[in-house]
Amino acid sequence: MTRQKQGSLVVIGGAEDKEGDCKILHRFLRLCGGREARILILSTASTDPSAGEEYAAIFTDFGAHEVRILAVPSRKEANHGEFKQVFADCSGIFFTGGDQLRITGILGGSRLGDVLRHARDRGAVVAGTSAGASVMSETMLVGGVDDATPKKEIIRMAPGLGLLRQVVIDQHFAQRGRIGRLLAAVAYNPEMLGAGIDEDTALVIDEDGVCEVVGSGTVTIIDGRKVTHSNISESKPGQPLALTNICLHILAEQYCFHLDKRNVSLPEVKEENSR
């Protein structure tokens, strides 16, 4: 019996282009089936009931077959039995930005959360921007100090949806100077990869754990598995963290990172035909 192919993840650093080439949003649509795509927009991260309307208009203009918005403002609504049918034929799920704790607080352990996982397991693509990106991690960043020296108390972490394991996501990365807080997150447990995604940039992750960079910025990968020293346990409040032998990758469009092997694939260089 052939195993069902799990859907890809499209993890967006926020502020993606919505008026020009819309490269990231077009890539999501293609993964969902192009003109056959049936997309559900989950605006749970925002208290604004119109939060998903802009994306609905964009994907409709792109030619998606069907686009629906699910606001789901409470756990009571997230436990309605109707969602199994709503998700039955969707090919793409898109989380808008807002507050990632609203997503986990409402969806975690709910019928909707279970149905969402089943949809991905049967092949639906799941995308999220800004807070919708952070929530994909098994452990997520929910707050922290931007532009700060790495210290263990500058971040707050919480359980995420667990769609992406052993990786912690930070978004708006270069624009808000968040390398210090991502280093702190990796210092908590160096087995966990840190992925800092710039605005208008995404990681497209397939079922084999191959992550391709798409968009105008970069993705910063922090790999602490080979760290030889850390002062995270004995450091005092306000004391800077020390980490030695940490590995850092800065990846631009078309570069790929392999989550299992923890290595980088370079883009293919097309040679000009010689005359």
For the chain, what are the domain ranges? 9-255
What is the Cα–Cα distance from 59 to 66, expressed in whole angstroms?
Answer: 9
Residue 194 CA to its chain's centroid (Å): 12
- What 3-state DSSP class applies to 258? strand
| 229 classed as catalytic | no
- Give 188's Cβ-side CA count (13 Å radius): 22
What is the Cα–Cα distance from 27 to 221, expressed in whole angstroms?
Answer: 22
What pLDDT score was predicted for residue 49? 74
Residue tagged active-site, from 43, 172, 212, 230: 172
Q: Give the CATH number of domain 9-255; options: 1.10.1670.10, 3.90.1150.10, 3.10.20.600, 3.40.50.880.
A: 3.40.50.880
| 172 classed as catalytic | yes
Q: Where are the alpha helices (DSSP H) in the chain?
A: 23-31, 53-62, 75-78, 83-86, 100-107, 111-121, 131-134, 179-188
Provide the whole-model pTM: 0.96
Fill in the amino acid letter for 61: D
When pLDDT is cut at 50, 70 and 90, the band that residue 268 belongs to is confident
Residue tagged active-site, from 43, 46, 110, 130: 130
- What is the token pair recorded at 117? 């996982």
What pLDDT score was predicted for residue 274? 46
**Tens-digit pLDDT profile for residues 197-238:** 999 999 999 999 999 999 999 999 999 999 999 999 999 999
Q: Which residue has the higher pLDDT, 273 or 117?
A: 117
| 16 classed as catalytic | no
What is the Cα–Cα distance from 66 to 39, expressed in whole angstroms?
Answer: 6
